[in-house]
Amino acid sequence: MNMRGANLLTLEGMSRDSLLDVLDTAESFFEVNQRTVKKVPALKGRVVASLFFEESTRTRLSFETAAKRLGADVVSLAVASSSVKKGESLRDTITTIDALGLDAVVLRHRSSGAALQVSRYVPHVRVINAGDGQHQHPTQGLLDAFTVRQILAERHGVTGSESGSSLFEGLRVLIVGDIRHSRVARSDIAAYSALGAEVRVAAPGTLLPNSLEGWPVTVAKDFDEALAWADVVGLLRLQHERGSGSYVPSLSEFTTTFGLTRARASLLKPEVIVMHPGPMNRGVEIDSLVADLPQSVITRQVANGVPVRMAVLYLSLAEKKEIA
Amino acid sequence: MTQHEDRQDRQRGLAFVVKSQLLSADDVSRAMKRMAHEVIERNQGLDGLSVVGIQRGGVAIAEQLSATLSAIGQVAVPVSALDVTYYRDDIGAHPLKDAAMTTLRDDLTNRTVVLVDDVLFTGRTIRAALAALGDWGRPTAVQLAVLVDRGHRELPIRPDYVGKNLPTSRSETVRATLDGVWLGTGVSS
């Protein structure tokens, strides 16, 4: 699957070349974001609708900022004050917005597969999945991979695009926490493994999916050992709204067994990269002090969200439209 | 050229095929020196001058021009690269080109900018570059230096310094580098 001129629904099945195409393009937009005038007219006259049926701070702001920095117009639906509250169906909402003239929809929805469904309702509109239920959060996977490559490239004194995927070869990535409910985990695993990294997951048995068949991961037998093994540690948020709380005996038990506590942080490699997609439950999956260590790149992840989403919108929308 | 573009072009069978060489490396070198002297003459020196090369073909030429200017005038002339991909007026009309890096960091307000490209053709790249430069401030003046002017302008744009005027047909391609200038067919970059 190539990102150019296409929808972005999932990272599953996306090739290494397509991922690198997004990361390299994001690098050029990272430079745009360093300028005094952080804006280019690449998508001038295009209309991007931002439809968030589920709460979000960083993803929504990041997508809307990205679209505006590309010169696109953004129409944004505040679900709480819209007809959705009167019971309008997703299909009717999309059709209504489409009638206003749209080039792309950025969709966040609590149902897995919602983005795919919307792409069928409006085949002439590009659909960008900003998180669908427990399925995928592709731009988070992309910005995590972008952030890791950027940091490793800096250490090697090269640019990310010069390094291609070489810095991911043999890279040890540990993803910790609520794998079962996490769309971020699914997108991260797809991105890291396609780029050549070795991915391990660590979680209480109840927070692993029922089957890991077909997942390019191994399960860590010992969490402490896996922390010492990892070059990158990706923590996940315990998702109360998806009922994660009932999968663990108590929050403090989860923190004791799988939280990145201050004591466990001493097991990490000195050059480790600690990531979290936010919002953090400080004191649950990550100790508050650990979250603020220099090895933690959480605010950098947020900052990189804008150039990565600019790349996604640009590649999806600016490529010549195929005549169907 | 990135591997991606290279791959795409080979798939389309658009690789550059040389018909004839028009300038040697020595010819280019002499033209570059002449242009440098013209820049100094026109601006009565090098005060407040910035050289900006357009990615990708204009960058090496801009660096050479800046080095020549610095050597003649005994002052450092700042040079940087500008990518205009995101300012083009044909986005969505062709398969996307990969963007290259912009290294321009300086505020260009009250500077005289010498914009440099390898080949001047329709003028649309220059229009995009002028739009882009506006994001770095308000230069006193922008002047245009090109190694080759091949005609076929579609916009009211003219060069201030020309290495070589070259009558061409629209279907031909010109490759202009510091190593020489060639006429051919297919995609050159």
Q: What is the chain B residue with the closest CA to A25?
A: B99
- Per the domain annotation, does B53 fall within a domain? yes
Range of the domain at B79: 28-184
B2, amino acid identity:
T
Tally the domains of chain B.
1
Q: Do A32 and B131 touch (CB under 8 A)?
A: no
Q: Does B14 touch chain A (CB under 8 A)?
A: no
| Helix, strand, or coil (residue A104) | strand
CATH number at B73 reads 3.40.50.2020
- Are both A16-135+303-318 and A138-302 of the same fold? yes
Query: Is B14 domain-assigned?
Result: no
Q: Which amino acid is at B112?
A: T
Cα–Cα–Cα angle for A128, A208, A1, rounded to 5 degrees: 30
Which position has the token pair 């220099």?
A294
The two tokens of residue A314 are: 């640009």
Cβ of B95 within 8 Å of Cβ of A32? The answer is no
What interface predicted TM-score (ipTM) does this complex get? 0.88
Contact B118, B148 (CB under 8 A): yes
Q: Which residues contact B96 (CB under 8 A, 6 or more apart)?
A: A4, A315, A318, A319, A320
Of the pLDDT bands very low, low, confident and very high (cuts 50, 70, 90), residue A55 is confident
Interface check B11 vs A, CB under 8 A: no
State the Cα–Cα distance between residues B150 and B145, nearest whole angstrom.
Answer: 13
Mean pLDDT of chain B: 92
Tell me how far CA of residue B153 lies from CA of A299, B120, B149, B161, B176, in angstroms: 48, 8, 10, 16, 18
* Residue at token pair 């991961």: A217
| Model pLDDT, residue A97 | 87
Cβ distance A320 to B107 less than 8 Å, yes or no, reads no
pTM of the model: 0.93
Of A17, A31, A320, the CB nearest to B102: A31
Residues of B in contact with A37 (CB under 8 A): 135-136
Query: Could you tell me how many residues make up chain B?
Result: 189
A17, A28, A159 member nearest B99 (Cβ)? A28
Name the pairing type of β-strands A198-202 and A273-275: unpaired
pLDDT of residue A1: 52
Contacts of B98 in chain A (CB under 8 A): 24-25
Alpha-carbon span A117 to A106, nearest angstrom: 13
Q: What is the pLDDT of residue B188?
A: 66
Residue in chain A closest to B135 (alpha carbons) equals A37
Query: Has residue B96 got a pLDDT over 90?
Result: no
Q: Which two tokens stand for residue A246?
A: 């009932």
Homologous superfamily (CATH) for A138-302? Aspartate/ornithine carbamoyltransferase (3.40.50.1370)
Model confidence at B12, pLDDT cuts 50, 70, 90, reads low
Q: Would you list the domain boundaries of chain A? A: 16-135+303-318, 138-302
Locate the chain B residue with the closest alpha carbon to A40. Answer: B86
**How distant is the Cα of A6 from the closest Cα of chain B, in angstroms?**
13
In whole angstroms, give the CA distance from residue B189 to residue A175: 43
Neighbours of A278 (CB within 10 A): 16
- Does domain A16-135+303-318 fall into CATH 3.40.50.1370? yes
A259 has pLDDT over 50: yes
Amino acid code (one letter) for B105: R
Confidence check: pLDDT of A74 > 80: yes
Chain B, nearest residue to A39 by Cα: B135
A200-222 pLDDT tens trace: 999 999 999 999 999 999 999 99
β-strands B17-23, B79-82 pairing = unpaired
Q: What pLDDT is attached to residue A322?
A: 55
Asked if residue B2 is part of any domain, the answer here is no
For residues A211 and A180, what is the distance between their CA atoms, to the nearest angstrom? 10
Tell whether B92 is covered by a domain.
yes
pLDDT beyond 90 at A254: yes
Per-residue pLDDT for B10 more than 60?
no
Token couple for B35: 């242009």
| Cα A286–Cα A287–Cα A291 angle in degrees, nearest 5 | 75
Give me the long-range contacts of B35-43 (CB less than 8 A, separation at least 24): B35/B65, B35/B145, B35/B161, B35/B162, B35/B163, B36/B65, B36/B68, B36/B69, B36/B72, B37/B72, B38/B161, B39/B65, B39/B69, B39/B114, B39/B143, B39/B145, B39/B161, B40/B69, B40/B72, B40/B73, B42/B143, B42/B160, B43/B112
The token duo for A244 is 């994660």
Q: Which amino acid is at A115?
A: A
Examine residue B19 and state whether it is found in any structural domain, yes or no.
no
Percent of chain B residues topping a pLDDT of 90: 83
For range B48-76, the mean pLDDT: 97
CA torsion sign for B46, B47, B53, B54 is: negative
Query: Is B13 within the bounds of a domain?
Result: no
**pLDDT tens digits along B113-139:** 999 999 999 999 999 999 999 999 999
DSSP 3-state of A128:
strand
